[in-house]
Chain A
Amino acid sequence: MVIETAGALWEWSPALATGFWQNILISLLAIAIGSLLGLLIGALAVSPLWITRLPARIWVQVFRNAPWLVLIYFTTYVFPFELHIGGHWVAFPDWVKVTIGLALPASANVAEIFRGAIGSIPGTQWEASRSLAFTRGQIFRSIILPQCFKRMLPPWMNLYAVITMGTALASLVGVHDLIDTAQIASNTVNRTGFTVMIYFSVLALFFVYCYPISRLTQHLERRYAFS
């Protein structure tokens, strides 16, 4: 009985691994797009001009306060399933739509992390840099941003771990990810012991992936706490 269950799990493990790779791919792309977009929006949010600050504020407020599942449904059903680009119809797969759905709240969070980091650099650093005859651009590039990135790293990694866990929502819109694979396996094998085992495996996979990130984040937070 136990051996049969373990055997079935072994049989299904390549499929589970493929499914999990889909989750990781979505999470990596989502954090990448979200970070680039978030830094851009964060830069707008700290601009001295209100006309650039306002759209950034709206973006951040809208996407930080919307449930992720709603955003995923939103991107899945608002975007067409294929795109007409240069005379060709290009498929717009669901997993890309989910990636965008996760990248939106990620960008809003990265923008806030960035804005917070800039704000956390004491004004005296600006004053000292100005007294050394740096221009505003030089102060940003050489003094403020390098200090910001160090401070942003722990919350950014924390955000990545949360996004990775959020990729589990992808199965709800039909993406063939780890959860979806587990459901198929569970229905196919149709044995209670196996169902319990496979969801334990899913849990373990997410944990093994996210826990080291969380530990590393804590380690970095402690290291940067005093400087």
Chain B
Amino acid sequence: MPSLETRTEQPLVSLRDVHLSFGNNPVLNGIDLLVQRGQAVSIIGPSGSGKSTILRCITGLLQPQRGTIRVGDTQVHTLNAEAQRIELRKRVGFVFQQYNLFPHLSVLENLVIAPRKVLGRSSKDAEQEARALLAKVRMEHKADAYPGQLSGGQQQRVAIARALAMRPELILFDEVTSALDPETVGEVLAVIRELTEEGMTCVLVTHEMRFAEDISDVVYFTENGLIVEHGSAEQIFQRPTSERTQVFLRHALGDAGRRPVVSGDPYLLSNIGRYSLSV
């Protein structure tokens, strides 16, 4: 396993032994995670394993009870004033599963409002940049539409552009394709792929295993609030060391994906139960 710590550059994000519980319900039980600048890092694992919670801790939406979180020079776990967390969030973009666009604002206004009110940019500058970002996510023709008039995939692309409008150092993607139709998943993933190719630092929580394998520099597998294993995408998906990872990937990728070629009688359908036959 290549040790990420040996790199000379300081990682942009580092989590050390992060513990968080909701009441008596432990969610994170000692998470260690590193993200280098310019990397795409995916967090995979079963539902309820604390993946989204990790992202919310990084941007200070949730406060862990124990452990350290650092983003750049900011010690996130020590922030106790909302004003300090606001400074952090100016640098960290967040894209949600349910898009969470502002329904009373047009697409363009959704992109312009935060740069204007939070960063104090002039409305002319903010609007110019917003239009450029909409073109980037191929939504420039819908600048004056309202979120309710857009498909899920379109709304999610606008949500990505809205996060980009703050010029973040880092973007967190929280299962951004889980609420989408299969046909529109591709258009959102294409946008994220472009971002990673341009060198934007991205942390993705995703159930799109093929996509994670394709674009990630590093993949973390979590289960029950712990990192079970991490490594390069190739290593995690092709040669996972943990049995838990193997079992998860076998289910997540579908048996057809990784099943070794059936030896012996090729006409014997040993797993006939998995197919539906229509005659």
A residues with CB within 8 A of B: 124-125, 127-136, 138, 142-143, 146-147, 150, 226-227
Q: How large is the interface on B (under 10, 10 to 19, 20 to 34, 35 or more residues)?
A: 20 to 34
Given known contacts A146-B104, A226-B148, A131 and B89 CB-to-CB distance under 8 angstroms: yes
Q: Does B166 contact A (CB under 8 A)?
A: yes
B170 to chain A: closest CB distance in Å?
A: 12
Contact between chains at B100 and A125 (CB < 8 Å): yes
Contact between chains at B96 and A133 (CB < 8 Å): no
18 A-B pairs within 8 Å (CB atoms) are namely A124-B96, A124-B98, A125-B102, A128-B94, A131-B59, A131-B61, A132-B89, A132-B163, A132-B166, A133-B87, A134-B86, A134-B118, A138-B118, A142-B113, A142-B117, A143-B102, A147-B102, A227-B146
Q: Closest B-chain residue to A134, C-beta based?
A: B118
| Cβ-defined partner of A134 (8 Å) among B94, B96, B103, B114 | B114
B residues with CB within 8 A of A: 59, 61, 82-83, 86-87, 89-90, 92-94, 96, 98, 100-104, 113-114, 117-118, 146, 148, 162-163, 166
By CB atoms of chain B within 10 A, which of A124, A132, A143 has the most? Answer: A132
- 7 new A-B contacts, CB < 8 A, other than A132-B114, A133-B90, A147-B104, are A124-B98, A128-B94, A128-B101, A128-B102, A131-B94, A132-B94, A133-B118
Q: Which residues of B contact A129 (CB under 8 A)?
A: 102
Contact between chains at B117 and A134 (CB < 8 Å): yes
Contact between chains at A133 and B102 (CB < 8 Å): no
Contact between chains at B104 and A150 (CB < 8 Å): yes
Contact between chains at A227 and B114 (CB < 8 Å): no
Contact between chains at B61 and A127 (CB < 8 Å): yes
Q: Which residues of A contact B83 (CB under 8 A)?
A: 135
